[in-house]
Amino acid sequence: MTSPKRSVVRGRERRLAREKAAEPLAALHGGVASRSMLRAAGISRFDVRSEVEAGRWHLHGQQTVVVDGRRPSGAGVWWAAIWEVGRGAVLDGVASLLAHGLTGFASACVDVSVPVGNRPHRPPGVVVHVPEHLGPTMDTGVPRTAAEVAVIRAATWAVSDRQAALLIAMAVQQGLVPTDRLAAGWALVKRCPRRAFLDQVIRDVCDGAHALGELDFAELCRERGLPVPTRQSVRHGPGGRIYLDVEWPDHGVAVEIDGGHHFRGLQPIDDALRQNDVVVEGAVVLRIPLLGLRLAPDRFMDQVARALTLAEQRAS
């Protein structure tokens, strides 16, 4: 007959063995482990039940066991979403971008895509998509779509045009998606509810200098009854020639329109030096992001109009 003391010792040994097997798995998956992983490590469903009843582990859905903490957090949220949705599931959209390293953006839900023909579960807090073509995926770390696929879908599923443009700009500026891969990925998209808008935004971000050349800023001025500016006017500063995108020399007002290339590397420093050289000579310089003209043209053009009006008042 087994003594109570020996039973306690054996129970403690089994618990320590479960911890030793489960903790490395959880460490690799943001504090969570799937039931199938635990089974493969020799931890039965009865072992899981014992840990849960003791309050050391917690269940999250049908497939996820929280080993570290009470609920999934960080990367554990992504893994739980994948396991709960089921076979073939991968992070997509914003969730995929976050897993790729996107910072400065948060989402209240987790976007997950599955291949056509699968029968996914739809757990709370997870939005399940079934794209016609899943596209390239990443198998290292949490399963997710390639960044160039994720950013296009994130922009497509965004709640507004503004959010769509923000996600594209952030992904490129943070180096998650090279512009050539973004452009190539966009060229493969057949249908998109935001096609016209995203086509313009992606061109602006991928080739800001070319897009700026196509932008008819003079027409925007004419539409508002403003005088037509001089394009690519030249000034001379301490560092040499300064080229301004548009200028009204008689008013002492200039506008610099910044494409995506203006936010890369050391370009912001060069832009600031050039602008400061012009401003200290008495000119008014407005900076307008190219995406800003796409998203809020009226607000920016109202600022241009006010700058010209104030310049005329100062001259009178």
- Dig out the tokens for 80 from the structure: 């739980």
Tokens encoding 69: 């903490």
Which of 65, 117, 75 has its CA nearest to residue 96? 75
Do residues 234 and 243 make contact, with C-beta atoms less than 8 angstroms apart?
A: yes
What does the pLDDT read at residue 145?
Answer: 98
* Euclidean distance between CA atoms 174 and 14, whole angstroms: 47
C-beta neighbour count of 86 within 10 angstroms: 18
- What does 58-110 look like in DSSP terms, one character per residue? EEETTTEEESSSSS--THHHHHHHHHHH-TT-EE-HHHHHHHHT--S---SSE
Closest CA to 152 of 115, 195, 106, 114: 195
d(CA 33, CA 79): 8
What separation, in Å, do the N-terminal and C-terminal C-alpha atoms of the chain show? 108
DSSP string, 130-191: --SS---EE-SSS-EE-HHHHHHHHHHH-SSHHHHHHHHHHHHHTTSS-HHHHHHHHHT---
Answer whether 236's CB lies under 8 Å from 274's CB.
no
Q: Single out the residue of 152, 158, 209 nearest to residue 182, CA to CA.
A: 152
Quote the pLDDT of residue 262.
47
How open is the CA angle 215-174-83, to the nearest 5 degrees? Answer: 120
The two structure tokens encoding residue 227: 């005088």
* Among candidate residues 76, 86, 139, 140, the one with its CA nearest the CA of residue 113: 86
Whole-angstrom distance, CA of residue 228 vs CA of residue 221: 6
**Residue 161, both tokens:** 């045009």
Assess contact for 164 and 201: CB atoms under 8 A: yes
* Distance (Å, whole) CA 169 – CA 210: 17
| Per-residue pLDDT reduced to its tens digit, 236-294 | 767 677 778 888 988 989 888 876 554 555 566 776 767 777 776 778 889 888 888 88
CA 252/CA 51 separation, integer angstroms: 74
Kindly give, in sequence order, each residue whose CB lies less than 8 Å from that of residue 162, ignoring residues fewer than 6 positions away. Answer: 295
Intervals of the chain under pLDDT 50: 8, 214, 262
